[in-house]
């Protein structure tokens, strides 16, 4: 099985900050990587697929990059509505696996 390691597991940031979250796969997954945002008590929301493609309706402050084993999610200017937990998921091969999540909190 492919292991997905996210870092950091949590971070504190201020409104307006640029935030970067990383996700590392235990083996190459090409660009079969998605990012999701989840707020407390809510279902996850899809942000990015194919490592760098923005889902329809997702603001351009979110961006993704990477290929192979190393990936990043960047939020260019953190806003109050962005405080949430973020997950990566590989869908290159079954079983599909998620990273452990990164909780973004207000500093």
Q: Which stretches of the chain bind other proteins, using CB under 8 A?
A: 1, 34, 36, 38, 43-46, 49, 55, 87, 89, 91, 94-101
Smallest gap, in angstroms, from Cβ of residue 13 to other proteins?
20
Contact 8, 100 (CB under 8 A): no
Q: Burial-class residue 38 by CB neighbours within 10 Å (0-12, 13-18, 19+).
A: middle
* Nearer to other proteins (CB atom), residue 17 or residue 24: 24
Q: CA angle, 18 as apex, 13 and 24 as ends, to 5°?
A: 90
* Nearer to other proteins (CB atom), residue 17 or residue 101: 101
Smallest gap, in angstroms, from Cβ of residue 43 to other proteins?
5
């Amino acid at each position: 099985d492919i292991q997905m390691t996210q870092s950091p597991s949590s971070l504190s940031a201020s409104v307006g900050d640029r935030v970067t979250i990383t996700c590392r796969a235990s083996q190459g997954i090409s660009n079969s990587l998605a990012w999701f945002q989840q707020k407390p008590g809510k279902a996850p929301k899809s942000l990015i697929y194919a490592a760098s493609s923005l889902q329809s309706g997702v603001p351009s402050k979110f961006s993704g990059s990477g290929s192979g084993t190393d990936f990043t999610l960047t939020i260019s200017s953190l806003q109050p509505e962005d405080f949430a937990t973020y997950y990566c998921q590989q869908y290159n091969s079954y079983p599909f696996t998620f990273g452990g999540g990164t909780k973004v909190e207000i500093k």
